[in-house]
């Protein structure tokens, strides 16, 4: 049972837009801690996709965007491409656990 809740899977056709939610609580996202998003392709280490809620590292396409509101955050991917098929994880800090926490991950399937 992850502290941050993500849907296990989402899917979309090429060119479409999908969103992945990350629901937390008052001890993490709701307390104002930043949310980061990672993309993990099969058999590779995770890659930072969005940092501090809505910022893209250099090299990440602007098709990827993040937002945060209240105790939740979202990752949006527009113009879906086959190469976006991967697992996506959100991360934040939890004050009651005194440590960092991840969501359970969401598998994105491009139909």
Partner 1 sequence: QVQLVQSGAEVKKPGASVKVSCKTSGYTFTNYYLHWVRQAPGQGLEWMGRISPIGVSTTYAQKFQGRVTMTKDSSTSTVYMELSGLKSDDTAMYYCAREGGAGYGYWGQGTLVTVSS
The residues binding partner 1 (CB under 8 A) are 2, 34, 36, 38, 40, 45-48, 51-52, 55, 57, 87, 89, 91, 97-105
Q: Which residue has the tokens 């999908």?
A: 18
Instruction: State the minimum distance, in angstroms, from the CB of residue 92 to partner 1.
Output: 10
Pick 11 or 100: Cβ nearer partner 1: 100
Count CB neighbours of 64 within 10 A.
17
Pick 13 or 45: Cβ nearer partner 1: 45
Pick 72 or 92: Cβ nearer partner 1: 92
């Amino acid at each position: 049972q992850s502290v941050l809740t993500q849907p296990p899977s989402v899917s979309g056709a090429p060119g479409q837009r999908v969103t992945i939610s990350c629901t937390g609580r008052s001890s993490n996202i709701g307390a104002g801690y930043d949310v980061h998003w990672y993309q993990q392709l099969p058999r590779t280490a995770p890659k930072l996709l969005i940092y501090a809620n809505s910022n893209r590292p250099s090299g990440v396409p602007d098709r990827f965007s993040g937002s945060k509101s209240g105790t939740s955050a979202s990752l949006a991917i527009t113009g879906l491409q086959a190469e976006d098929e991967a697992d996506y994880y959100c991360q934040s800090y939890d004050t009651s656990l005194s440590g960092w926490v991840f969501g359970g991950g969401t598998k994105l399937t491009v139909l």
